[in-house]
Every structure is written in C-alpha cells, then in structure tokens.
Amino acid sequence: MINNSNKKKVVAIGAHPDDIEFGCSGTLMRHLKAGDDVTMVIMTNSQSIDGVSGEVIRSSDELYQETKEAADIIGGRLLMLSFQDLRVPFSLESVSDVQRVLQATNADTVYTHWAGDSNQDHIATYRASVAAARYVKNIYCYEQIPIPRHTENEMKPTYYSDITEEFEDKIKVAKCHKSQIEKYAMVGLDVPKNLKTLAMFRGIQANVEYAEAFQVLKSVS
C-alpha cells in the first residue's frame, strides 16, 4: 500500500514538446509507479519552427496530438503554457507562470533543463524554472540526447536514475514525436538509437543497464 504522506509532488518543465520525454520521462514514470504526483509543463504551445530555415516543422494541432499521446503513456498531468517556439523569455511573465504551477501543485521536486544547454529556449526555461522554484526543496537538471551542438562543457552528472524497467516505455514515448524524429532523420540522426546509446552510457556510469543522468541544484530529503 502506498503511503500518501511520503508522496512527492513532482513538476517537470520543458521548453518544447519532446524535451521532457527525451530528457527525463523514464524517471517520471518511476515517480508515478511510486505513487508520486507528476505534472509536465511545456513552455510553448505554438507551431514548431526550424531555427535556420524558418520552416514550420509541426503545426500547433500536430504538436498537441503528439504531446498528448506521449503524456498519456507517461501517465502524468500535462499543462502547456502560451509562449512561442524560439521566443521563450526569461522574464517576469515566464517566472510567474511557472511559479503559479508550482504553487498550485504544491511542488517539492522540479526537473528542468541544464544550464549548459546551447538552445536559447532551453536556457530561458532553465532560468525561469530555477527562479520560480527558489523555495522548492529539490531541483534536478536533465540532459538532452546527443546532437551536434556547440556547448561550453559537457554535463557532469551528480545523480543517476535507474530506468532499466522504464526504458522500453521511454522509447515508445519518444516515438510519439514523429515529426521531430523525422526532422532529425533528415540530417542523419536516429533519435531512438541516440536515446538508447545515451541511456546505456549513463547506465554504465551508474552500474545499471539503462539510466538517466542529472545535475542536482539542490536536494532536501
């Protein structure tokens, strides 16, 4: 029987649909299995745009359907905010929007982007999340799948989550984002394969089969 007094209130925050799924969906499924409450917050809900060509990758309707399908597999609550792709700000508005979610859910644990990411929306989301969660007990930063990006440094994990039992479902969740997988495939990147490679690598570091890695900003038991 689950002891509700120990139930965690978890909020995972991502700039775009697929960020949470690629970064920490296995860990979120572990939380749900433990009886914790999980809310997934996506900062953007507009169409997805290629940052170089300006081409629309996903319409708003397609984006929502893919995101809802992924959330249904994970099992958590889904909330999409109203910022535009490529234009997520670090501002009073973004901090306040995230803070309202954290207060409404009584969050004690937050997952968000890593500060060293090179994507501008990811960095703004990280900053807004950390500012909004300044009174939250636990903050963990997740990484994205390896893709060619220029970063100042590689993430050095300080915490690993064993997702061996959840890994196959994580791949199912990732495959819900068909348009993103197709976009990466056009430049020779296999998202499911990269996710597996990263999970195996982190698993080797953690002495398990598959793992997700995090940087801990703060953790209070």
Domains recognised in the chain with CATH numbers: 7-218 (3.40.50.10320)
| Higher per-residue pLDDT: 176 or 54 | 176
Give me the pLDDT at residue 1, please.
36
Mean pLDDT of 18-47: 94
How much is the pTM? 0.90
Mean pLDDT of 100-108: 97
**pLDDT by residue (tens digit) across 64-76?**
889 999 999 999 9
The secondary structure of the chain as a DSSP string is: ---GGG--EEEEEESSTTHHHHHHHHHHHHHHHTT-EEEEEEEE-S-EE-TTT--EEE-HHHHHHHHHHHHHHHT-EEEEEEEPTT----SHHHHHHHHHHHHHHT-SEEEEE-TT---HHHHHHHHHHHHHTTT-SEEEEE-----S---SS----SEEEE-TTTHHHHHHHHHT-HHHHHHHHTTT--HHHHHHHHHHHHHHHHTSSSEEEEEEEE---
Give me the pLDDT at residue 154, please.
81
